[in-house]
Amino acid sequence: MRITRTIEETRAALHGEVGLVPTMGAYHAGHISLFAAARKENGLVVASLFVNPAQFGDAADLARYPRDEAADAAIAEEHGVDVLFAPPVEELYPPGFETWVEVERAMQGLEGSFRPGHFRGVATICLKLFNIVRPRRAYFGQKDAQQVEVLRRMVRDLNLELDLELRVLPTVRDADGLALSSRNARLSPDARAAALALPRALATKDLARARELLAGLDVDYVEIAPFDPPVLAAAVRVGDIRLIDNVPLDEGDRS
């Protein structure tokens, strides 16, 4: 596996059909499932490892985001990544940067209401990565359902679909049901026990039941979102840790 720092080096490493897995690091089995899918479906697998400052509203959240490039590189290599693009911030946001992607409606509501500017940062960095890496397929987790919705809309609206397919993989969970997230490492045992109400509530696939089961937590939202597929989605805060999760709904679950 090669680690690249610049757009130029990354471009020079590309050949054949490329699968891209955009990430911010702190790899767990959720990321690994994306690497595995990309490995199976493409000649060359590129993962980006970049903690994108533009998608963090809160400077403290950005500062405490876990970073361990050596550990991540070992995991990426083990799981078939060919090129790990890990640029410094200035490579992607040089002085004078001022162009942003807004996906007007899809950015609103749910995460968009609680993290202003987040999806503008996500859409912009993903478009930049798509332009740099020119992937045939790009891999995302269902865990971030609204992110998928925003990116699908962007891909259609900007006619990227002619060359690029978005692939969405199911949410990977721990044995107790908690969706894997880099933020879980910061949960104390008590906080983790409290956080389990989130997957349990969503597993009911019933909005009213989910609301009841989340009543003891600090809930940002619990809603049915008309995505493709529709999901029951929620965000809660356990101490200073914010967790999001969702479950896809089938036809019968929505009445």
By CB under 6 A, the residues from 155 to 194 that bind ligand AMP are 169, 171-172, 179-182
The Cα 221–Cα 236 span in angstroms is 7
Using the rule CB under 6 A, is 31 a contact of ligand AMP? Answer: yes
72, 82, 111, 144: which one contacts ligand AMP (CB under 6 A)? 144
Using the rule CB under 6 A, is 146 a contact of ligand AMP? Answer: no
**Any idea what DSSP says for residue 183?**
G
Closer CB to ligand AMP, 119 or 140, in the complex: 140
Using the rule CB under 6 A, is 24 a contact of ligand AMP? Answer: yes
Minimum distance, C-beta of residue 135 to ligand AMP, in the bound complex (Å): 13
Using the rule CB under 6 A, is 125 a contact of ligand AMP? Answer: no
By CB under 6 A, the residues from 79 to 108 that bind ligand AMP are none
What are the angstrom distances between the C-alpha of 176 and each of 70, 162, 232, 247?
A: 29, 41, 19, 15
The Cα 255–Cα 253 span in angstroms is 6
User: By Cβ distance, which residue is nearest to ligand AMP?
Assistant: 141
In the set 15, 31, 79, 118, the catalytic residue is: 31
Using the rule CB under 6 A, is 23 a contact of ligand AMP? Answer: yes
Place of tokens 């130029």: 8
Q: Helix H segments across the chain?
A: 7-13, 29-41, 59-63, 69-78, 89-92, 111-114, 118-133, 145-157, 189-195, 197-203, 207-213
The Cα 57–Cα 114 span in angstroms is 10
Tell me whether residue 118 is one of the annotated catalytic residues.
no
C-beta neighbour count of 133 within 10 angstroms: 25
Closer CB to ligand AMP, 4 or 23, in the complex: 23
Using the rule CB under 6 A, is 231 a contact of ligand AMP? Answer: no
- Give the interface with ligand AMP as residue ranges (CB under 6 A): 23-24, 30-31, 33-34, 140-141, 143-144, 169, 171-172, 179-182
- Residues classed as catalytic: 31
